[in-house]
Every structure is written in structure tokens, then in C-alpha cells.
Chain A
């Protein structure tokens, strides 16, 4: 597609520049390009999960082993992770989440609204710093900033890729 957005490739390049080698995810349309890049990359582990909380536990296990990971999920998946987020406040594990948002800008499916509207307060209550990205031009800067905060400063950061950025799904 000539008009395919470039920002997913920018995210992938930045993550690889930071030596991220474990990409885990429950599939979501908003992460399709990133998932495919990780599947095509012989240098990384691309891990399909059965539930998003496995991805959070994997971030802890990767850090224990000296590797860097990222967990990719849809906003609804954040709710599946809450107990596993204990690793952040209790264990001070560095964590990077990429959350593709549903249930915000222009959402047509009411079932997505409850989680979409509570993602940020839940993440912040659990100790994450949230960075919401609305425009393609902000993606690379935000990803770079998040990687610095996670892999250098040891923080837990969630980058929220808004529906304004991704485009609302048509119903």
C-alpha cells in the first residue's frame, strides 16, 4: 500500500536499536506491522500469548535473564494484566508496553469503551508512566523517549497508540 503509515516501522527500528529481542503480544490490528516485523526477524523471539498477563510476566523473566522485551496489547488486554503489574511497584522491574487503543477517539463498538476509558488510570495506579501518542509525527520521539526511560532509567512505561493515530475500526 502506497499510503501505509511509516510509524510502525519506526517503532520497530527504534526497539531493535535498543536491542529489544523479545516481542510478545496478543494480536491486534493496531500492532499488525510490528508483529510481522518480529516474525520476520531471525534475531528476535516473537511470542504469541494466550493472555496479555503472560507478556507482563515475560518482561520480568527477560529482565532477570538480562534481555530486553516489549509487550504489545490492545487496550482491553490491559485489564487482563492488573495482578501481574505487581512486578512494577513491588519489584521495580523495567517494563515497556505498547497499547493500541480501542474505546477512545471515534469508537463505534460500545463493548470497547469501558476498558478504553480506564486504561490510563489503571496503568498509572499500577505504577506505569503513560505516554499517549496522537499524531504520526510524534511516534518516533515518544518511542525513543520511552525506551530511554525503561531500559536506561529502569521505569515502567506504557505508550498508548490512540485511535486517532491508528484509525477507528469501521462497524
Chain B
């Protein structure tokens, strides 16, 4: 094999791999989901949140537009300054548009928090390693982007403080939730982007 081939396959440090189960950790971190308006990325986090929120319409889950969740949440937070807005995204979705953390930071919405459920893998496509399994730390990127409150949660006992932060922060907050690469909850949800749009708007705005 040629020795001058570079490949992204260096082994992750053990600390880079989460041990929490997302099916337990995400509900614990969020608590009562009705306290938030929630935007999710595609794949795993859409299922995490659909499982948590159904049958209520306080969440909008993507099944495409990879990299868009954080910017959607930013605009929603600016539009609804009296509501707490939560973006729940994955490491792969966020890596596609890490610049949106910088955009959130410069706008500084007091009512927007971001949870990144980081399993270090592209679970939806067969659990290929993502950059976060290979040494990339999204919490450091969030700090460098200027997000003022950043937490990394790797153990169960760290969840409570981060959960409180999501409910009390008056500045943008980012919580990196390190989980093991296991499947999200099984849930059947509507993939109709227009129907879910109407449901979300009806729940939030009423008929207009």
C-alpha cells in the first residue's frame, strides 16, 4: 500500500467517545419539552424530539436541508423573543454549517439555546465516523465562535446543570451532549414539510 496516502482514520481518543444513551440523556436534558419551541436537524435528533414532543406541535423537525437547523432556530428566536427556542441538532448536521454558530453569536439572541447530540457518527447512513470521532471538538468551535455559555456533558451527573442553563440563560447557550453511537427512539412521524409547518404555526400563532 502506498505510504503517501492520507486518510481520515486516526483513532479517537477515548474521551472523544460518549457513553451516555441518547434515549435517556436527551429527555433528561430537555425536561418538559412544552417549555420550548424546538427546531431539529434531520435524522437522529428529529426522532429524539418527535418521540419527546408528539402529539404536540411545538417542534419542527427537518428530514433534509442538512446544516439549516441552527439558522432556522435563530430566525425563530428573533421572531418570538418571549419564547425560549431550542435547536436540537447532531454532530453531522452542525458540521455542515458550523458558521451558523458564529451568526448566532453575533446576533446574541437571549432566548436561543443549541443542543448538539454528538454521537461521533453519521448514524442515518450506516454509522460512518464523523469528524468529532477524529479529534474535532464542537464545543471548542462554539467557544471560538463567541457563544457565551458552552457546556460539554459526558456524564449523567452533568446533565442537571446543563438542563438548568437551558431554562435560565439570558444569552445564547450551547450544550454538547456526548452520547454513544446507538439508535434514537423509534417513532413514526410526518415527513410532510408543509403539513408540519402548518401544524407548528397553528400551535404557535393560532389561525391567521
| Chain A interfacial positions (CB closer than 8 Å to B) | 21-22, 24, 45, 47-51, 53-67, 69, 83-84, 86-87, 90-93
Contact = CB atoms under 8 A, between A and B. Distances in A.
Given A60-B68, A66-B205, A83-B67, 13 more contacts: A50-B97, A54-B97, A54-B99, A54-B103, A57-B71, A61-B72, A63-B201, A64-B60, A64-B201, A65-B37, A66-B208, A84-B65, A92-B193
B17 interface: no
B139 interface: no
A24 B80 CA distance: 17
Contacts of B78: 21-22, 45, 47, 62, 65, 67
17 contacts: A48-B106, A50-B97, A53-B97, A54-B71, A54-B103, A57-B72, A58-B75, A61-B39, A62-B75, A64-B60, A64-B197, A65-B80, A66-B80, A86-B65, A87-B65, A91-B193, A93-B197
Task: Categorize the interface residue count of chain B.
Answer: 35 or more
Interface string B58-74: 00100011111111111
Contacts of B71: 49, 53-55, 57-58, 61
Contacts of B100: 50, 54, 57
Nearest to A55: B71
Top 5 A-B pairs ranked by shortest CB distance? A65-B79, A50-B99, A61-B75, A91-B193, A57-B68
Given A84-B65, A91-B194, A60 B205 contact: no
A64 B72 contact: yes
A90 B103 contact: no
Interface of B: 37, 39, 60, 64-80, 97, 99-100, 102-103, 106-107, 193-194, 197, 200-201, 204-205, 208
A49 B102 CA distance: 9
Given A50-B103, A54-B99, A61 B74 contact: yes
A91 B198 CA distance: 10
Interface SS of chain A: helix
Contacts, number: 118
A27 to B, nearest CB: 13
A19 B137 CA distance: 40
A94 B73 CA distance: 17
B100 to A, nearest CB: 5
Contacts of B64: 83, 86, 90
A63 B208 CA distance: 13
B171 to A, nearest CB: 17
Contacts of A65: 37, 75-80, 204
Contacts of B193: 86-87, 90-92
Nearest to B87: A61
A92 B107 contact: no
A135 to B, nearest CB: 33
Contacts of A93: 197
B207 to A, nearest CB: 12
A62 B78 CA distance: 8
A61 B79 contact: yes
B38 to A, nearest CB: 11
Contact of A58 (B67, B74, B200, B208): B74
Contact of B102 (A50, A57, A66, A69): A50
A31 to B, nearest CB: 17
A64 B73 CA distance: 10
A17 B69 CA distance: 29
A97 to B, nearest CB: 15
Nearest to A83: B65
